[in-house]
Amino acid sequence: MEAANYPLFFIHISKTAGSSFRVAAERYFGKEHVFYDYGPKANETNPDIRTLDYEKRDRYAAGMKIVEKAKFLTGHINHPKYAPFIPAKNAITFVRDPIQQVRSHYEHFTRHHRYKRSFTEFVNEPRFKNVQYKAFQGTWPDAIGFIGLTERYNESLALINKMYSTDIQGLDINKNTEKKSSSYELSDEEIALIKKHNKEDFKLYEYALTRFERQKLAIESDAPFIRFGKTNMAASDEGKMIKGWAADYNSQSPVVIDVRIGKKKIAEIPASEYRSTANERNIHRNGFVGFSFTYPSKLKAGTRIDFMASANGLLLMSCLLYTSPSPRDRG
């Protein structure tokens, strides 16, 4: 279990049950310990954040004030804004089936923001495309402490409470009371339009579904939860090597990775290389969570190489070697 040192940082993505969660958190922590950042014009934005960050433009001072006073921080903000002050393990968010999220977002705008255009026009507007994906920009999704699912809200809340040793109670607010069922019914044409303009959101949601099951198992069994992903590398290295990162937030030791071809282990490498993004995003071990592996020159094209966590045998990623132009890596 990855117990938290406060504050928790809730990245509030529109129409994913975020309002219910933030109000429930406020009731649990108390108003004086909850800081909101919804922009300089929002009434909810904390006065210290408004003054220090937006007026004086001193984000360091704002961040230190949050660390000093807050137990819970939230807003329609991306992770990098306050990452230097709050460990990535304390970051929480929810994602939702994109079809339902987009329609709910439209209904919200028509009710609360006097949006007068049609649903088709709404979906076509760039600012409303891939809203969930945009919330993850600037960080590695697997580094986020917990990603809940709106469709499994109560289950997500129970996992959050166990993971962070809290007792936040379920609430159900900011919903469209005129909606007769728990989900919106859309035509095939509307669904196709949503899919066309929100491809990144659909990829993110599929990732979140898989990750949720993996993290649920780890939390319920008090087992390590290994986070991982690929990292950028020079174009000249494509096809010659792979670079990635891996971390276990419950341990200060590097994750050890077995490199395998079939059942044969050909190497063992620690995820202990420095990654500047990991350091800047306050991910773990001051950024020393990276690994790299150069493909053996004698391997034949079509050879599959697996990278597995030594501790539990989890397949982190694999690559299929090609002679040209580069390996097809997949996480």
For the stretch 18-42, pLDDT in tens is 999 999 999 999 999 999 999 999 9
Co-location of 91 and 165 in the same domain: yes
pLDDT tens digits for range 239-287: 889 999 999 999 999 999 999 999 999 999 999 999 999 999 999 999 9
198 and 255 part of one domain:
no
Tens of pLDDT, residues 189-241 = 999 999 999 999 999 999 999 999 999 999 999 999 999 999 998 988 888 89
Using CA atoms, how far residue 297 sits from 239, 294, 322, 327, in Å, is 11, 9, 12, 13
Residue where a domain terminates, one of 162, 192, 220: 220
Measure CA 98 to chain center. 15
Torsion of CA 79, 84, 90, 96, to 10 degrees: 0
Residues 105 and 216 reside in one and the same domain: yes
Question: What letters, b where the CB count within 10 A reaches 16 and e where it falls short, cover 167-184?
Answer: ebeebeeeeeeeeeeeeb
Q: In terms of domains, do 43 and 192 share one? A: yes
- 181 vs 79, higher pLDDT: 79
User: Do residues 292 and 273 touch, judged by C-beta distance below 8 A?
Assistant: yes
Q: Are residues 231 and 117 in the same domain?
A: no
CA distances from residue 67 to 58, 94, 307 in whole angstroms, order as listed:
15, 23, 37
Specify whether 258 is located in the same domain as 208. Answer: no
Question: What's the rounded Cα separation, in Å, for the pair 272 and 246?
Answer: 9
Average pLDDT of the segment spanning 10-15: 96
Angle in degrees, CA 272, 313, 274, rounded to 5: 10
Residue 236 CA to residue 259 CA, distance in Å, equals 22
What percent helix, strand, coil does the chain show, rounded to 5? 40, 20, 40
The pLDDT assigned to 14 comes to: 93
pLDDT digits (tens, 9 = 90+) for 55-92: 999 999 999 999 999 999 999 999 999 999 999 999 99
How large is the average pLDDT for residues 145-153? 97
Residue (of 316, 3, 322) closest to 146 by Cα position? 3
Give the sheet arrangement for strand 304-309, strand by strand. 264-270, 256-261, 304-309, 315-320, 328-330
41 and 62 belong to one structural domain: yes
- The label of the residue with tokens 């190497």 reads 267
Cα–Cα distance list, 125 to 30, 97, 105 (Å): 38, 19, 13
The CATH number for 83's domain is: 3.40.50.300
Nearest Cα to 310, choosing from 284, 291, 285? Answer: 291
Cα(65)–Cα(37) distance, integer angstroms: 13
pLDDT value for 122: 95
How far is it, in rounded angstroms, from Cα 326 to Cα 305? 14
Could you give the CA distance from residue 116 to residue 193 in angstroms, rounded to a whole number?
19
Domain match, 137 and 277 both: no
Whether residue 1 is predicted with pLDDT greater than 90 in this model: the reply is no
**Are 205 and 238 contained in the same domain?**
no
- Residue 245's domain comprises 226-330
Cβ 138 vs Cβ 145: under 8 Å: no
Q: Which two structure tokens, joined as six digits, stand for 123?
A: 């979906």
Number of domains in the chain: 2
Q: What is the mean pLDDT of residues 139-167?
A: 97
pLDDT for the residue numbered 113: 83
Same domain, 198 and 264: no
Nearest to 212 by CA among 166, 163, 283: 163
What is the arithmetic mean of pLDDT over 105-125?
92
Task: Report whether 45 contacts 37 (CB < 8 A).
Answer: yes
Helix (H, G, I), strand (E, B) or coil at 104: helix
The phi, psi pair for 209, rounded to 5°, reads -60, -45
3 assigned to some structural domain: no
Query: How far is the C-alpha of 106 from the C-alpha of 96, rounded, in Å?
Result: 14
Mean pLDDT over all residues of the chain? 92
